[in-house]
Amino acid sequence: MKTELLGGKKNIIIGSLLLVVGLILFSFSFFIGLIYLIISIVLISKYNKKDEIDNRAIVEKEIMDEAKKLGLVEETRPKKQIAPLTPIKEITPINTSIKENKNMVFIKGGKFEMGYLSNSKGDPAHKVTLDDFYINKYQVTHAEFVEFLNINEIAKNGVYNGNLLIDLKAQFATIVYRNGKFNFVKGKYAEKDSCPVVLVTWAGAHEYCKWAGGRLPSEAEWEYAARGGTKYDETYNWYSMDRYRFSGSDDINEVAWYWRNSGDYRLKGDWAESRAKDNNGRTHPVGAMKKNQLGLYDMSGNVWEWCNDWYARYETGEVTNPQGPETGGTLLGNVIVIKPMKVIRGGSWYNDSSCETTARESKIPTESGYGVGFRLGASVER
Protein backbone atom coordinates (compact mmCIF):
# COMPACT_ATOMS: atom_id res chain seq x y z
CA MET A 1 0.00 0.00 0.00
CA LYS A 2 2.89 2.41 0.84
CA THR A 3 4.47 1.84 -2.59
CA GLU A 4 1.15 2.59 -4.32
CA LEU A 5 0.63 5.77 -2.31
CA LEU A 6 4.21 6.90 -3.00
CA GLY A 7 3.62 6.36 -6.72
CA GLY A 8 0.49 8.47 -6.43
CA LYS A 9 2.40 11.32 -4.78
CA LYS A 10 5.07 11.19 -7.53
CA ASN A 11 2.29 11.50 -10.09
CA ILE A 12 0.98 14.71 -8.63
CA ILE A 13 4.45 16.23 -8.09
CA ILE A 14 5.64 15.47 -11.63
CA GLY A 15 2.28 16.48 -13.05
CA SER A 16 2.47 19.86 -11.29
CA LEU A 17 6.03 20.49 -12.55
CA LEU A 18 5.02 19.59 -16.11
CA LEU A 19 2.04 21.91 -15.83
CA VAL A 20 4.35 24.83 -14.93
CA VAL A 21 6.81 23.92 -17.73
CA GLY A 22 3.93 23.56 -20.19
CA LEU A 23 2.64 27.03 -19.38
CA ILE A 24 6.13 28.51 -19.93
CA LEU A 25 6.72 26.65 -23.21
CA PHE A 26 3.22 27.54 -24.38
CA SER A 27 4.41 31.12 -25.05
CA PHE A 28 7.25 29.84 -27.30
CA SER A 29 5.66 26.82 -28.99
CA PHE A 30 1.94 26.12 -28.96
CA PHE A 31 2.34 22.45 -29.96
CA ILE A 32 5.08 21.55 -27.41
CA GLY A 33 3.34 23.45 -24.61
CA LEU A 34 0.06 21.67 -25.38
CA ILE A 35 1.74 18.27 -25.07
CA TYR A 36 3.20 19.16 -21.64
CA LEU A 37 -0.22 20.41 -20.47
CA ILE A 38 -1.99 17.19 -21.57
CA ILE A 39 0.60 14.96 -19.84
CA SER A 40 0.35 16.96 -16.61
CA ILE A 41 -3.47 16.79 -16.59
CA VAL A 42 -3.40 13.00 -17.14
CA LEU A 43 -0.94 12.45 -14.27
CA ILE A 44 -2.87 14.65 -11.84
CA SER A 45 -6.28 13.17 -12.76
CA LYS A 46 -4.89 9.63 -12.43
CA TYR A 47 -3.81 10.36 -8.86
CA ASN A 48 -7.15 11.96 -7.95
CA LYS A 49 -9.07 8.97 -9.35
CA LYS A 50 -6.90 6.51 -7.43
CA ASP A 51 -7.30 8.56 -4.25
CA GLU A 52 -11.09 8.51 -4.71
CA ILE A 53 -11.11 4.72 -5.16
CA ASP A 54 -8.90 4.22 -2.09
CA ASN A 55 -11.13 6.46 0.04
CA ARG A 56 -14.28 4.65 -1.14
CA ALA A 57 -12.73 1.28 -0.26
CA ILE A 58 -11.82 2.55 3.23
CA VAL A 59 -15.36 3.87 3.82
CA GLU A 60 -16.94 0.61 2.61
CA LYS A 61 -14.67 -1.40 4.92
CA GLU A 62 -15.58 0.81 7.89
CA ILE A 63 -19.31 0.37 7.13
CA MET A 64 -18.93 -3.43 6.91
CA ASP A 65 -16.90 -3.56 10.15
CA GLU A 66 -19.60 -1.60 11.96
CA ALA A 67 -22.36 -3.80 10.49
CA LYS A 68 -20.51 -6.89 11.74
CA LYS A 69 -20.30 -5.43 15.25
CA LEU A 70 -24.09 -4.86 15.19
CA GLY A 71 -24.65 -8.44 14.07
CA LEU A 72 -26.22 -7.44 10.74
CA VAL A 73 -23.81 -9.36 8.55
CA GLU A 74 -21.84 -12.54 8.74
CA GLU A 75 -19.32 -14.28 6.52
CA THR A 76 -20.73 -17.20 4.59
CA ARG A 77 -19.56 -20.44 6.13
CA PRO A 78 -20.79 -24.03 5.86
CA LYS A 79 -23.50 -24.64 8.45
CA LYS A 80 -22.09 -26.32 11.52
CA GLN A 81 -24.10 -29.43 12.30
CA ILE A 82 -24.78 -30.16 15.96
CA ALA A 83 -24.37 -33.86 16.57
CA PRO A 84 -27.26 -35.53 18.41
CA LEU A 85 -26.39 -37.36 21.61
CA THR A 86 -28.58 -40.32 20.63
CA PRO A 87 -29.52 -41.87 17.28
CA ILE A 88 -32.14 -39.80 15.48
CA LYS A 89 -35.70 -41.08 15.72
CA GLU A 90 -38.03 -39.65 13.12
CA ILE A 91 -40.78 -37.43 14.53
CA THR A 92 -44.13 -39.08 13.83
CA PRO A 93 -47.16 -36.77 13.61
CA ILE A 94 -49.93 -37.56 16.07
CA ASN A 95 -52.63 -39.72 14.53
CA THR A 96 -55.52 -37.29 14.89
CA SER A 97 -57.17 -34.72 12.65
CA ILE A 98 -56.59 -31.08 13.43
CA LYS A 99 -60.38 -30.76 13.64
CA GLU A 100 -60.36 -33.03 16.71
CA ASN A 101 -58.26 -30.52 18.63
CA LYS A 102 -60.89 -28.66 20.65
CA ASN A 103 -58.63 -25.63 20.98
CA MET A 104 -58.29 -25.07 17.24
CA VAL A 105 -60.49 -22.23 15.99
CA PHE A 106 -61.79 -22.14 12.42
CA ILE A 107 -61.05 -18.76 10.83
CA LYS A 108 -63.15 -17.73 7.85
CA GLY A 109 -60.96 -16.12 5.21
CA GLY A 110 -61.55 -12.71 3.68
CA LYS A 111 -59.97 -9.49 2.44
CA PHE A 112 -58.30 -6.88 4.64
CA GLU A 113 -55.75 -4.10 4.77
CA MET A 114 -52.62 -5.58 6.33
CA GLY A 115 -50.12 -3.17 7.85
CA TYR A 116 -49.39 -0.67 10.57
CA LEU A 117 -52.11 1.39 12.19
CA SER A 118 -50.13 3.57 14.61
CA ASN A 119 -46.61 2.14 15.09
CA SER A 120 -44.30 4.43 13.13
CA LYS A 121 -41.62 1.85 12.29
CA GLY A 122 -43.81 -0.43 10.20
CA ASP A 123 -44.40 -1.05 6.54
CA PRO A 124 -47.35 0.61 4.79
CA ALA A 125 -50.72 -1.14 4.66
CA HIS A 126 -51.55 -3.27 1.62
CA LYS A 127 -54.50 -5.38 0.49
CA VAL A 128 -54.46 -9.09 1.31
CA THR A 129 -56.90 -11.91 0.53
CA LEU A 130 -56.77 -15.07 2.67
CA ASP A 131 -58.36 -18.50 2.41
CA ASP A 132 -59.94 -20.19 5.44
CA PHE A 133 -57.52 -21.57 8.05
CA TYR A 134 -57.25 -22.80 11.64
CA ILE A 135 -55.36 -21.28 14.56
CA ASN A 136 -55.13 -22.36 18.19
CA LYS A 137 -56.85 -20.22 20.78
CA TYR A 138 -53.82 -20.56 23.09
CA GLN A 139 -50.05 -20.21 22.82
CA VAL A 140 -48.22 -23.55 23.11
CA THR A 141 -47.40 -24.22 26.77
CA HIS A 142 -44.39 -25.75 28.51
CA ALA A 143 -46.47 -28.83 29.34
CA GLU A 144 -47.35 -29.38 25.67
CA PHE A 145 -43.79 -28.88 24.47
CA VAL A 146 -42.38 -31.22 27.12
CA GLU A 147 -44.84 -33.89 25.95
CA PHE A 148 -43.64 -33.40 22.36
CA LEU A 149 -39.97 -33.74 23.38
CA ASN A 150 -40.56 -36.91 25.41
CA ILE A 151 -42.91 -38.71 23.02
CA ASN A 152 -40.48 -38.21 20.15
CA GLU A 153 -37.44 -39.08 22.29
CA ILE A 154 -35.60 -35.92 21.29
CA ALA A 155 -31.90 -35.99 22.22
CA LYS A 156 -31.17 -34.69 25.71
CA ASN A 157 -29.38 -31.64 24.30
CA GLY A 158 -32.60 -30.56 22.55
CA VAL A 159 -31.25 -31.22 19.05
CA TYR A 160 -33.10 -32.90 16.19
CA ASN A 161 -31.65 -33.43 12.71
CA GLY A 162 -28.80 -31.04 13.50
CA ASN A 163 -31.14 -28.23 14.58
CA LEU A 164 -31.50 -26.96 18.12
CA LEU A 165 -35.20 -27.06 19.07
CA ILE A 166 -34.97 -25.48 22.51
CA ASP A 167 -32.19 -23.88 24.54
CA LEU A 168 -31.64 -26.05 27.61
CA LYS A 169 -28.43 -24.27 28.65
CA ALA A 170 -29.88 -20.80 29.22
CA GLN A 171 -29.38 -19.41 32.72
CA PHE A 172 -33.12 -19.47 33.52
CA ALA A 173 -34.17 -22.44 31.38
CA THR A 174 -37.52 -23.88 32.47
CA ILE A 175 -37.23 -27.20 30.63
CA VAL A 176 -34.46 -29.56 31.73
CA TYR A 177 -33.46 -33.16 31.01
CA ARG A 178 -33.41 -35.26 34.19
CA ASN A 179 -33.79 -38.95 34.98
CA GLY A 180 -34.08 -39.91 31.33
CA LYS A 181 -36.78 -37.44 30.30
CA PHE A 182 -37.58 -33.76 29.83
CA ASN A 183 -39.23 -31.91 32.72
CA PHE A 184 -40.62 -28.47 33.46
CA VAL A 185 -39.01 -26.63 36.37
CA LYS A 186 -40.27 -23.41 37.87
CA GLY A 187 -38.08 -20.54 36.74
CA LYS A 188 -37.61 -16.79 36.77
CA TYR A 189 -39.70 -16.24 33.65
CA ALA A 190 -42.30 -19.04 34.01
CA GLU A 191 -43.76 -20.23 37.29
CA LYS A 192 -46.17 -22.86 35.92
CA ASP A 193 -46.12 -25.33 33.04
CA SER A 194 -49.32 -23.69 31.77
CA CYS A 195 -47.24 -20.64 30.85
CA PRO A 196 -46.26 -20.35 27.17
CA VAL A 197 -43.08 -22.20 26.28
CA VAL A 198 -40.03 -19.95 25.78
CA LEU A 199 -36.43 -20.42 24.66
CA VAL A 200 -37.75 -22.33 21.64
CA THR A 201 -36.12 -21.74 18.24
CA TRP A 202 -38.00 -21.43 14.95
CA ALA A 203 -37.02 -25.03 14.15
CA GLY A 204 -38.49 -26.13 17.49
CA ALA A 205 -41.76 -24.36 16.76
CA HIS A 206 -41.82 -25.72 13.20
CA GLU A 207 -41.21 -29.35 14.25
CA TYR A 208 -43.82 -29.17 17.02
CA CYS A 209 -46.46 -27.88 14.61
CA LYS A 210 -45.72 -30.65 12.09
CA TRP A 211 -45.99 -33.22 14.87
CA ALA A 212 -49.32 -31.74 16.00
CA GLY A 213 -50.72 -32.06 12.48
CA GLY A 214 -50.47 -28.40 11.52
CA ARG A 215 -47.95 -25.69 10.77
CA LEU A 216 -46.88 -22.26 11.90
CA PRO A 217 -49.31 -19.55 10.78
CA SER A 218 -48.20 -17.21 8.04
CA GLU A 219 -47.65 -13.61 9.08
CA ALA A 220 -50.77 -12.53 7.19
CA GLU A 221 -52.89 -15.22 8.87
CA TRP A 222 -51.52 -14.22 12.25
CA GLU A 223 -52.42 -10.54 11.82
CA TYR A 224 -55.84 -11.34 10.36
CA ALA A 225 -56.66 -13.54 13.37
CA ALA A 226 -55.22 -11.07 15.87
CA ARG A 227 -57.43 -8.32 14.48
CA GLY A 228 -60.54 -10.47 14.74
CA GLY A 229 -61.05 -11.44 11.11
CA THR A 230 -63.54 -9.70 8.84
CA LYS A 231 -67.29 -9.33 8.50
CA TYR A 232 -68.73 -9.62 4.99
CA ASP A 233 -71.65 -7.42 3.89
CA GLU A 234 -73.42 -9.16 0.99
CA THR A 235 -75.46 -6.06 0.15
CA TYR A 236 -72.42 -3.92 -0.60
CA ASN A 237 -69.94 -6.77 -1.29
CA TRP A 238 -67.69 -5.30 1.36
CA TYR A 239 -65.38 -6.73 4.06
CA SER A 240 -65.09 -4.77 7.29
CA MET A 241 -62.66 -5.23 10.18
CA ASP A 242 -62.43 -3.88 13.71
CA ARG A 243 -59.54 -1.48 14.15
CA TYR A 244 -58.58 -2.13 17.75
CA ARG A 245 -55.00 -1.20 18.56
CA PHE A 246 -54.48 -4.46 20.47
CA SER A 247 -56.04 -7.87 19.92
CA GLY A 248 -59.63 -7.48 21.09
CA SER A 249 -59.40 -4.04 22.69
CA ASP A 250 -57.90 -0.56 22.58
CA ASP A 251 -57.05 -1.04 26.26
CA ILE A 252 -53.89 -3.13 26.51
CA ASN A 253 -54.60 -3.91 30.17
CA GLU A 254 -57.68 -5.93 29.19
CA VAL A 255 -55.99 -8.29 26.77
CA ALA A 256 -52.23 -8.44 27.33
CA TRP A 257 -49.48 -9.25 29.78
CA TYR A 258 -46.96 -6.52 29.04
CA TRP A 259 -44.20 -4.59 30.77
CA ARG A 260 -46.42 -2.65 33.18
CA ASN A 261 -48.50 -5.55 34.54
CA SER A 262 -46.36 -8.69 34.08
CA GLY A 263 -44.32 -8.26 37.27
CA ASP A 264 -44.85 -7.97 41.02
CA TYR A 265 -46.09 -4.37 40.92
CA ARG A 266 -47.81 -2.24 38.34
CA LEU A 267 -45.25 0.07 36.74
CA LYS A 268 -45.71 3.71 35.74
CA GLY A 269 -43.59 6.08 33.71
CA ASP A 270 -41.59 5.45 30.55
CA TRP A 271 -41.01 2.00 29.09
CA ALA A 272 -37.73 0.20 29.62
CA GLU A 273 -37.14 -3.54 29.28
CA SER A 274 -34.78 -3.39 32.26
CA ARG A 275 -37.58 -1.97 34.43
CA ALA A 276 -39.82 -4.90 33.52
CA LYS A 277 -37.10 -7.40 34.44
CA ASP A 278 -36.22 -5.60 37.68
CA ASN A 279 -39.91 -5.84 38.61
CA ASN A 280 -39.76 -9.63 38.23
CA GLY A 281 -41.66 -9.42 34.94
CA ARG A 282 -42.48 -12.85 33.50
CA THR A 283 -44.84 -14.92 31.40
CA HIS A 284 -48.26 -15.92 32.77
CA PRO A 285 -50.56 -18.93 32.23
CA VAL A 286 -52.22 -18.81 28.81
CA GLY A 287 -55.85 -17.73 28.54
CA ALA A 288 -55.95 -15.56 31.66
CA MET A 289 -56.68 -12.31 29.83
CA LYS A 290 -59.74 -11.28 27.81
CA LYS A 291 -60.10 -13.12 24.49
CA ASN A 292 -60.46 -11.31 21.17
CA GLN A 293 -63.43 -11.35 18.76
CA LEU A 294 -62.54 -14.84 17.48
CA GLY A 295 -62.01 -16.38 20.91
CA LEU A 296 -58.19 -16.20 20.76
CA TYR A 297 -56.12 -15.40 23.86
CA ASP A 298 -52.77 -13.63 24.25
CA MET A 299 -52.47 -12.51 20.63
CA SER A 300 -51.11 -9.34 22.23
CA GLY A 301 -48.40 -9.78 24.86
CA ASN A 302 -47.21 -12.67 27.06
CA VAL A 303 -44.74 -13.95 24.42
CA TRP A 304 -43.76 -13.09 20.87
CA GLU A 305 -44.92 -15.74 18.38
CA TRP A 306 -42.88 -17.26 15.58
CA CYS A 307 -44.50 -17.05 12.13
CA ASN A 308 -43.63 -19.17 9.11
CA ASP A 309 -42.41 -16.27 6.93
CA TRP A 310 -38.92 -14.99 6.34
CA TYR A 311 -38.78 -11.32 7.30
CA ALA A 312 -38.81 -8.74 4.48
CA ARG A 313 -40.68 -5.61 3.51
CA TYR A 314 -44.26 -6.28 2.50
CA GLU A 315 -45.11 -7.06 -1.09
CA THR A 316 -46.69 -4.14 -2.93
CA GLY A 317 -50.14 -4.19 -4.46
CA GLU A 318 -52.88 -6.71 -3.74
CA VAL A 319 -51.76 -10.24 -2.81
CA THR A 320 -53.48 -13.56 -2.05
CA ASN A 321 -52.28 -15.92 0.70
CA PRO A 322 -48.81 -14.29 0.97
CA GLN A 323 -46.06 -16.51 2.38
CA GLY A 324 -43.18 -14.02 2.41
CA PRO A 325 -39.94 -14.47 0.40
CA GLU A 326 -38.72 -17.97 -0.49
CA THR A 327 -35.41 -17.45 1.32
CA GLY A 328 -34.08 -15.06 3.93
CA GLY A 329 -31.07 -12.78 3.87
CA THR A 330 -29.30 -10.83 1.13
CA LEU A 331 -26.04 -11.82 -0.55
CA LEU A 332 -23.43 -9.06 -0.94
CA GLY A 333 -20.87 -10.29 -3.42
CA ASN A 334 -19.59 -13.76 -2.59
CA VAL A 335 -18.53 -13.20 0.99
CA ILE A 336 -21.03 -11.30 3.11
CA VAL A 337 -24.68 -12.14 3.67
CA ILE A 338 -27.28 -10.16 5.63
CA LYS A 339 -28.47 -12.55 8.31
CA PRO A 340 -31.81 -14.19 7.43
CA MET A 341 -34.58 -13.48 9.94
CA LYS A 342 -37.98 -15.02 10.62
CA VAL A 343 -41.03 -12.94 11.54
CA ILE A 344 -42.18 -12.74 15.15
CA ARG A 345 -45.48 -11.12 16.16
CA GLY A 346 -47.53 -10.00 19.15
CA GLY A 347 -45.06 -8.50 21.59
CA SER A 348 -44.34 -9.96 25.02
CA TRP A 349 -44.37 -9.48 28.77
CA TYR A 350 -41.55 -6.89 28.50
CA ASN A 351 -43.03 -4.86 25.60
CA ASP A 352 -45.58 -2.08 25.11
CA SER A 353 -46.32 -0.72 21.62
CA SER A 354 -44.93 -3.94 20.10
CA CYS A 355 -48.09 -5.63 21.42
CA GLU A 356 -50.14 -3.86 18.72
CA THR A 357 -51.80 -6.19 16.23
CA THR A 358 -49.93 -4.66 13.30
CA ALA A 359 -46.48 -4.46 14.92
CA ARG A 360 -43.86 -6.77 13.44
CA GLU A 361 -40.33 -7.75 14.39
CA SER A 362 -37.73 -10.27 13.24
CA LYS A 363 -35.41 -12.79 14.87
CA ILE A 364 -32.63 -15.10 13.72
CA PRO A 365 -34.34 -18.51 13.50
CA THR A 366 -31.57 -20.36 15.34
CA GLU A 367 -31.86 -18.03 18.33
CA SER A 368 -34.43 -18.01 21.13
CA GLY A 369 -35.43 -15.84 24.06
CA TYR A 370 -37.29 -15.61 27.36
CA GLY A 371 -40.09 -13.78 25.59
CA VAL A 372 -40.46 -15.81 22.37
CA GLY A 373 -42.89 -18.70 21.84
CA PHE A 374 -45.49 -19.70 19.24
CA ARG A 375 -48.95 -21.08 18.55
CA LEU A 376 -50.28 -23.81 16.27
CA GLY A 377 -51.89 -23.05 12.92
CA ALA A 378 -53.25 -25.30 10.17
CA SER A 379 -54.66 -25.28 6.67
CA VAL A 380 -58.25 -26.26 5.95
CA GLU A 381 -58.43 -29.62 4.18
CA ARG A 382 -60.09 -29.42 0.79
CA pseudo-torsion sign 214, 217, 221, 225: positive
Residues 278 and 219 in one domain: yes
Residue 164 pLDDT > 80, yes or no? yes
120 part of a folded domain = yes
Residues 339 and 290 in one domain: yes
Asked whether 107 and 132 are in contact (CB, 8 A), the reply is yes
H or E stretch including 128? strand 126-130
Residue 70 has a pLDDT of 55
More confident site: 356 or 335: 356
Asked whether 218 and 308 are in contact (CB, 8 A), the reply is yes
Residue 336 pLDDT > 50, yes or no? no
Residues 298 and 226 in one domain: yes
pLDDT band at 195 (very low <50, low <70, confident <90, very high): very high
**Residues above pLDDT 70, as percent of the chain:** 72
pLDDT digit string, tens, across residues 107-146: 999 999 998 755 445 577 889 999 999 999 999 999 999 9
Asked whether 83 and 113 are in contact (CB, 8 A), the reply is no
pLDDT digit string, tens, across residues 204-235: 999 999 999 999 999 999 999 999 999 877 76
Looking up residue 358, the CATH number of its domain turns out to be 3.90.1580.10
Residues 210 and 347 in one domain: yes
pLDDT digit string, tens, across residues 283-301: 999 999 999 999 999 999 9
Lowest mean pLDDT among 237-241, 298-302, 358-362: 237-241
Mean pLDDT of 68-89: 51
Range of the domain at 63: 2-70
More confident site: 170 or 25: 170
92 part of a folded domain = no
Residue 128 has a pLDDT of 95
Comparing CA positions, the residue from 60, 107, 72, 120 lying closest to residue 311 is: 72
Mean pLDDT of 86-90: 59
More confident site: 144 or 40: 144
90 part of a folded domain = no
This prediction has a pTM of 0.77
Residue 24 has a pLDDT of 61
Q: What is the mean pLDDT of the chain?
A: 83
Residue 315 has a pLDDT of 80
84 part of a folded domain = no
CA 369 – CA 350 distance, rounded (Å): 12
How many folded domains does the chain comprise? Answer: 2
Residue 57 has a pLDDT of 60
Residues 61 and 123 in one domain: no
3-class state of residue 63 by DSSP: helix
Residue 154 has a pLDDT of 96
Residues 152 and 283 in one domain: yes
pLDDT band at 90 (very low <50, low <70, confident <90, very high): confident
